[in-house]
Amino acid sequence: MASKIKIVLFEDTEQTRSGLLKGLNEHLKDGGAIPFGQSDESPADMQGMYQDRLESILSKAPYDEATMLVVDRDLSKSQNFGGLSDDTVAAAAKRLAIPICSYARQHVPDDYYWLACWEEGRIVLSFENDEELARKAVLAARGFARIAAGLPGVMKDRASRSPAKILAALLGKPEYSDKIALYSVGDQYRLLEILAKAKDETDRVRRMDCFLGYWLWDSLLRYPGLLANEVAAASYLNIATVDFEKPEVRAVFAEALYDGPFADSKRPQWWRGMLDDIVSGENCSDGLELVLKRVSSKIGPSQCCEDPSKPAGYYCIISGRPVSLENSEGGFSWFPRGADLTRISKTKFDEYGPWLGS
């Protein structure tokens, strides 16, 4: 595996390409981002289907050993690849087991926001500005690189055979392997990736890196249960979201902060089991009691977005707001089994019910 992070940028507009390359390399600090189209295709590479040509090109210098591809959704103006789409690039990347991160440079807010939230099998980033897009892309690349670096040692351990045990070991939480496994129950989307046969050990590690990285990004970090984002964590602890953002409150739960692959200081997450340990270790009934005991009386309880008179405790995956058990729906077949803090508020369920399934 390559020790240095290498990002290959697919962007067919010069001005955007220049700005993104600058941002990517500033965050990488070692010039590890290069634009696709830097080398000439051989006569053989000019023939055949786009994904075959791309597979051949990406297997050679300067693109070989890429950590991740960062790809504009619209590549129709690409030189020598007229009408190219990010799906074609993704198909070639999948053959080579290279993670892919897609984005849209146009400001197409709502529809692309939901793509960024829900599309699986790749990293999807919504466009805010060049700097923030570059920051999040580098964060994703570092996450995959961190997983890849730890895999060879973990995969040699006979006790770490299943993906859940491998991921638990990589995260430094072997005791959570059973809870991580609950995020795979019913997830047939990734079954073919597990069953795919690798060419050799290097290829096996690369494919496991993609598999675990996407699974962690798409599932464990998306659906609160094992881990909880700041809204879900505040709701679970019975602390108002605005108060949970206060540094003195965060400090009480600092030990539970997630610092594994894809950890983002701007969008932190916490280990739910460690939050429990912190609260119970002080013989408190919930996080609010603990914070009031340690910090200040000017801290409010979490309130359900449907009925503020009720404490929340859960997280609406569609609105991103705290919600109570009685004012929400759960147990959908597309929710990971381990995501027991994830719900859909009754208002959102009434609005989208026919499309949400059961």
Q: What angle do CA 339, 132, 260 make, to 5 degrees?
A: 40
Find how far residue 16's CA is from the centre of its chain.
24
Identify whether the C-beta of residue 327 lies closer than 8 Å to the C-beta of residue 304: yes
Find how far residue 305's CA is from the centre of its chain.
26
- Report how far residue 250's alpha carbon sits from residue 252's, in angstroms, rounded to the nearest whole number: 5
Residue 8: DSSP 8-state = E
pLDDT at position 125 is: 87
- Report how far residue 136's alpha carbon sits from residue 133's, in angstroms, rounded to the nearest whole number: 5
Residue 198: DSSP 8-state = P
Identify whether the C-beta of residue 260 lies closer than 8 Å to the C-beta of residue 172: yes
Confidence of residue 305 (pLDDT cuts 50, 70, 90): very high
- Ranking 16-30, 151-165, 277-291 by mean pLDDT, the lowest is 151-165
Residue 12 has pLDDT above 60, yes or no: yes
Would you kindly state where each structural domain of the chain is located, as residue ranges? 7-145, 150-220, 227-356
**Overall average pLDDT of the 83-110 stretch:** 85
Percent of the chain beyond pLDDT 90?
Answer: 69
C-beta neighbour count of 57 within 10 angstroms: 20
**Tokens matching residue 47:** 């023939």
Confidence of residue 129 (pLDDT cuts 50, 70, 90): confident
Residue 109 has pLDDT above 80, yes or no: no
Residue 316 has pLDDT above 70, yes or no: yes
Omega cis (within 30) before 62:
yes
Identify whether the C-beta of residue 357 lies closer than 8 Å to the C-beta of residue 332: yes
Residue 34: C-alpha distances to residues 3, 7, 15, 25, 322 (Å): 16, 6, 15, 9, 42
Alpha carbons within 13 A on the beta-carbon side of 22: 9
pLDDT at position 119 is: 66
Reported as a single tens digit per residue, the pLDDT across 17-68 is 999 999 999 999 887 999 998 655 566 666 789 999 999 999 999 999 999 9
**Overall average pLDDT of the 133-142 stretch:** 96
Identify whether the C-beta of residue 229 lies closer than 8 Å to the C-beta of residue 263: no
Residue 188 has pLDDT above 70, yes or no: no
Residue 11 has pLDDT above 90, yes or no: yes
Q: Model pTM greater than 0.85?
A: yes
Sequence-distant (6+) residues with CB within 8 A of 155 are 166, 204, 205, 208
Reported as a single tens digit per residue, the pLDDT across 254-267 is 999 999 999 999 99
Higher pLDDT pick, 110 / 336: 336
Reported as a single tens digit per residue, the pLDDT across 220-257 is 999 999 999 999 999 999 999 999 999 999 999 999 99
pLDDT at position 1 is: 43
**Overall average pLDDT of the 336-341 stretch:** 95
Confidence of residue 133 (pLDDT cuts 50, 70, 90): very high
Identify whether the C-beta of residue 71 lies closer than 8 Å to the C-beta of residue 103: yes
**CATH code reported for the domain at 7-145:** 3.40.50.2300
